[in-house]
Amino acid sequence: MKTVGSSTRSCMLALLGWGAMHALTCAAEPISFKSDVASILVDNCIACHGPKKAEGGYRLDTFEQLRRPGDSGVEPIIAGAAPGGEILRRLATSDPDERMPPDSNPLPVAAIETIRDWVASGGAFDGGKPSESLAMVMPPRTHAAAPKSYSHAIPVAALAFTPDGRQLVVGGYHELLVFDAGEGTLLKRIGNLGQRIFAITFLADGRTIAVASGEPGRDGDVRLVDFEQGLVTNVFARAVDVVLDLAPRPQSDQVAVASADGIVRIIDAASGAEVRAIASHADWVNAVVWSDDGKKLASASRDRSVKVYDADSGDLLANYQDHGEPVRGVAFTADGKQVLSIGADKKLHRWDIETVKKVAGVDLQGEGCKLVRTADTVSVASTDRLLRSIDLAKNVVTLTFKGHTDWPVAIAAHPASGRIASGALDGEVRVWNSGDGSLVKSWIARP
């Protein structure tokens, strides 16, 4: 848990946390709310005092809420005065019935002292907007390094070919794993990413990777990575839950981002600024995609709907609800007039945007997990452990890819090399020949 900022004082607190009592003579820097205090509250307090649960009528998920009394009417923060308000009293008391957080060990002394010193120094807010969630006020996290080797394989929820098709980038634990696509050998690792990787795509320059990731129930973001240098160059679309998908807009710097907070965000990748937020879904947004001409945007959600928007205005053009189950994947046909969608109802739906009516369907036998369209073919991964290529001119399955022993939940295509890649819950990656369904190579994505 991060409890202090990058100052001389933080060194002293770190030493105290390890039980060492060292006197440092250097002057302390001011305590920062956004860098030093917010993370303590997020890690230890929001579960009981957030928007979904507010024990005692008290919330502290934003700075505005933090300063407002709960049902007791007692001031939570009294800046510049001892003992400093109800929060500090509850954190420091030895009474187990009064101490916060309840039913757990007391906060480390260093963490309590950080909050106490911040209150004593005036309790200043140095974040963006007091109404923003604390997770957004905090600076983007620098993530812990991935382990040198994994004790067990982890699910592969995202993968992408490099533009030349020679390498395959696979989501790992807090990192990207880069493999030779033909041999399956690990070439390099790129870190400082979210705990779980949900989507990977190269931007138009061919050198920058956009990675959607996060820690469930805590935070998520999109990180831009310089592929050659292996460094994170920008962080945007930060959310209070994981980011599940992203899609670059054709002929544009914009990126559409789908999050578990139910919001579709349009981001200018060059600046990291939010162009638009679309809060049209009632549950997780599992997937987003642009039409080939970039004029329409579609999103698929756990709320059982697929929605299509005007890409420039964000206006809703269509709301398709015939799946009746959570929807996990979506794509446009090449002409942008129809949408392809899959989900828990075990069917591929093809439907018309103007009439919002289903025009064709294909049975999958398993729940649809991910899909990718190339030209007039769509490839689908499903929970019956198969991949299927579907001819969109005839709406029939033309190839079945067999071999996975667990659910394939990630899929990528590289049309120029005629290859498809898939990743499964058991950590297996498979590269296939898209022409005949034969296996090129398979391996477990585990360093």
At 128, the amino acid letter reads G
pLDDT: which is higher, 287 or 48: 287
Do 107 and 165 belong to one domain? Answer: no
Task: Specify burial of residue 396 (Cβ count, 10 A radius: 0-12, 13-18, 19+).
Answer: exposed
At 11, the amino acid letter reads C
What is the predicted pLDDT for the residue at 248?
A: 98
* Strand-pair partners of 413: 420
Do 98 and 17 belong to one domain? Answer: yes
What is the predicted pLDDT for the residue at 23?
A: 35
Tell whether 62 is covered by a domain: yes
**Residue 5: pLDDT above 70?**
no
Q: Are 304 and 295 in contact (CB under 8 A)?
A: no
Last residue within a domain, chosen from 137, 171, 195: 137
Ranking 25-29, 114-118, 354-358, 377-381 by mean pLDDT, the lowest is 25-29
**Residue 324: pLDDT above 50?**
yes
Average pLDDT over residues 303-318: 98
Tell whether 274 is covered by a domain: yes
| Domains identified in the chain, total number | 2
Q: Are 117 and 24 in contact (CB under 8 A)?
A: no
- Dihedral of the CA atoms 306, 372, 179, 155 (nearest 10)? 40
Kindly list the distances between the CA atom of residue 125 and the CA atoms of 28, 31, 35, 131, in Å, as whole numbers in the listed order.
18, 10, 11, 11
Per cent of the chain over pLDDT 90 is 82
Q: Are 186 and 178 in contact (CB under 8 A)?
A: yes
Q: Which two tokens stand for residue 308?
A: 């299509």
Confidence of residue 42 (pLDDT cuts 50, 70, 90): confident
**Residue 3: pLDDT above 60?**
no
Strand 176-180 and strand 186-190: the pairing is: antiparallel
Ranking 72-81, 180-189, 248-257, 326-335 by mean pLDDT, the lowest is 72-81
pLDDT 10s digits, 143-155: 989 999 999 999 9
Do 300 and 402 belong to one domain? Answer: yes
Confidence of residue 118 (pLDDT cuts 50, 70, 90): very high
pTM of the model: 0.84
Tell whether 302 is covered by a domain: yes
Residues 6+ apart with CB under 8 A from 439: 403, 430, 431, 432, 433
Tell whether 1 is covered by a domain: no
Do 181 and 304 belong to one domain? Answer: yes
Do 105 and 181 belong to one domain? Answer: no
Average pLDDT over residues 126-139: 87
Do 124 and 186 belong to one domain? Answer: no
Average pLDDT over residues 89-112: 90
Per cent of the chain over pLDDT 70 is 94
H, E, C per residue of the chain = CCCCCCCHHHHHHHHHHCCCCCCCCCCCCCCCHHHHHHHHHHHHCCCCECCCCEHHHCCCCEHHHHCCCCCCCCCCCCCCCCCCCHHHHHHHCCCCCCCCCCCCCCCCHHHHHHHHHHHHCCCCCCCCCCCCEHHHHCCCCCCCCCCCCCCCCCCCCCEEECCCCCEEEEECECCEEEEECCCCCEEEEECCCCCEEEEEEECCCCCEEEEEEEECCCEEEEEEEECCCCEEEEEEEEECCCEEEEEECCCCCEEEEEECCCCEEEEECCCCEEEEEECCCCCCEEEEEECCCCCEEEEEECCCCEEEEECCCCCEEEEECCCCCCEEEEEECCCCCEEEEEECCCEEEEEECCCCEEEEEEECCCCEEEEEEECCEEEEEECCCCEEEEECCCCEEEEEECCCCCCEEEEEEEHHHCEEEEEECCCEEEEEECCCCCEEEEEECCC
Average pLDDT over residues 64-70: 94
**Residue 19: pLDDT above 60?**
no
Average pLDDT of every residue of the chain: 91
Do 174 and 131 belong to one domain? Answer: no
**Residue 325: pLDDT above 50?**
yes
* Strand-pair partners of 246: 257
What is the predicted pLDDT for the residue at 388?
A: 98
For position 286, which CATH number holds?
A: 2.130.10.10
CA dist., res. 290 & res. 440, Å (int): 30
Do 78 and 181 belong to one domain? Answer: no
What is the predicted pLDDT for the residue at 52?
A: 77
Confidence of residue 14 (pLDDT cuts 50, 70, 90): very low
What is the predicted pLDDT for the residue at 18?
A: 33
Tell whether 142 is covered by a domain: no
**Residue 63: pLDDT above 50?**
yes
Do 133 and 261 belong to one domain? Answer: no
**Residue 308: pLDDT above 80?**
yes
pLDDT: which is higher, 215 or 27: 215
What is the predicted pLDDT for the residue at 81?
A: 76
Name the residue with tokens 């890409």: 311
Ranking 34-43, 201-210, 292-301, 365-374 by mean pLDDT, the lowest is 34-43
What is the predicted pLDDT for the residue at 28?
A: 58
What is the predicted pLDDT for the residue at 296?
A: 98
Ranking 238-242, 321-325, 354-358 by mean pLDDT, the lowest is 238-242
**Residue 232: pLDDT above 90?**
yes
Average pLDDT over residues 306-311: 98
**Residue 2: pLDDT above 80?**
no
Tell whether 194 is covered by a domain: yes
CA dist., res. 226 & res. 211, Å (int): 11
What are the two backbone dihedrals, phi and then psi, of residue 288, each rounded to the nearest 5 degrees? Answer: -135, 150
Tell whether 296 is covered by a domain: yes
CA dist., res. 429 & res. 168, Å (int): 10
Q: Which of 364, 358, 366, 359 minimizes the C-alpha distance to 378?
A: 364
Enumerate long-range contacts of 354-359, CB under 8 Å, 24 or more apart: 354/318, 356/318, 356/319, 356/320, 358/322
Do 58 and 165 belong to one domain? Answer: no
Do 196 and 254 belong to one domain? Answer: yes
Q: Are 337 and 353 in contact (CB under 8 A)?
A: yes
Last residue within a domain, chosen from 87, 105, 137: 137
Confidence of residue 136 (pLDDT cuts 50, 70, 90): confident
What is the predicted pLDDT for the residue at 240?
A: 84
Domain that holds residue 311: 159-444
Do 122 and 257 belong to one domain? Answer: no
CA dist., res. 241 & res. 219, Å (int): 4
Tell whether 340 is covered by a domain: yes
Average pLDDT over residues 9-20: 35
